[in-house]
Amino acid sequence: MTPYAILNLRPFAKAPRMSFDKPEDFYRVYGEHRTYAPAETRKKHIRQFDAQFWRPAECRAGMSVLELGCGTGIFLAYLRRKRITEFVGVDADEAVKEYMPDDIAAKVTIGDIRDFIEKTERAFDRIVMLDVFEHFSVFEGRALLSSLKPLLAPEGRIIMRLPNAASPWGLQYQFQDLTHQAIYGPGNIRHLAHAAGYDCLACFSARRGNPFKHFIEDCVHALLNRMLTEPPPVWGANMVVVLKPK
CATH of the domain at 133: 3.40.50.150
Distance (Å, whole) CA 158 – CA 179? 22
pLDDT at 28 over 80: no
> For residues 84 and 76, is the Cβ–Cβ distance under 8 A?
no
Distance (Å, whole) CA 52 – CA 161? 8
Give bridge partners of residue 161 from the DSSP assignment. 130, 240
Residue 216 lies in domain: 20-245
Report if residue 138 sits inside a domain: yes
Give bridge partners of residue 68 from the DSSP assignment. 90
pLDDT tens digits, one per residue of 147-184:
999 999 999 999 999 999 999 999 899 988 888 999 99
Report if residue 5 sits inside a domain: no
Per-residue pLDDT band at 31 (split at 50, 70, 90): low
pLDDT at 6 over 50: no
Question: Which of 27-36, 134-143, 221-230 comes out lowest in average pLDDT?
Answer: 27-36
Report if residue 6 sits inside a domain: no
What's the number of domains the chain is made of? 1
134 Cβ partners below 8 Å, 6+ apart?
162, 163, 174, 180, 181, 182, 183, 184
Report if residue 210 sits inside a domain: yes
Average per-residue pLDDT in the chain? 90
Instruction: Supply the pTM of this predicted model.
Output: 0.86
Report if residue 146 sits inside a domain: yes
Q: Where are the alpha helices (DSSP H) in the chain?
A: 3-13, 30-33, 43-49, 74-81, 102-105, 113-119, 138-148, 171-174, 186-195, 211-227
Between 9 and 72, the more confident residue is 72
> For residues 178 and 222, is the Cβ–Cβ distance under 8 A?
no
Cα separations in angstroms, 144 against 134, 171, 197 = 12, 24, 12
pLDDT at 3 over 70: no
Q: What's the pLDDT score for residue 176?
A: 87
Residue 98's nearest CA partner among 86, 114, 110 is 110
Q: What SS3 class is residue 130?
A: strand
Region for residue 67 given its phi and psi (left: phi exceeds 0; alpha: psi -120 to 50; beta: otherwise): beta
Percent of the chain with pLDDT over 70: 91
Report if residue 9 sits inside a domain: no
Report if residue 233 sits inside a domain: yes
Report if residue 2 sits inside a domain: no
C-alpha torsion sign, points 214, 215, 221, 225: positive
Distance (Å, whole) CA 53 – CA 3? 54
Name residue 18's amino acid: M
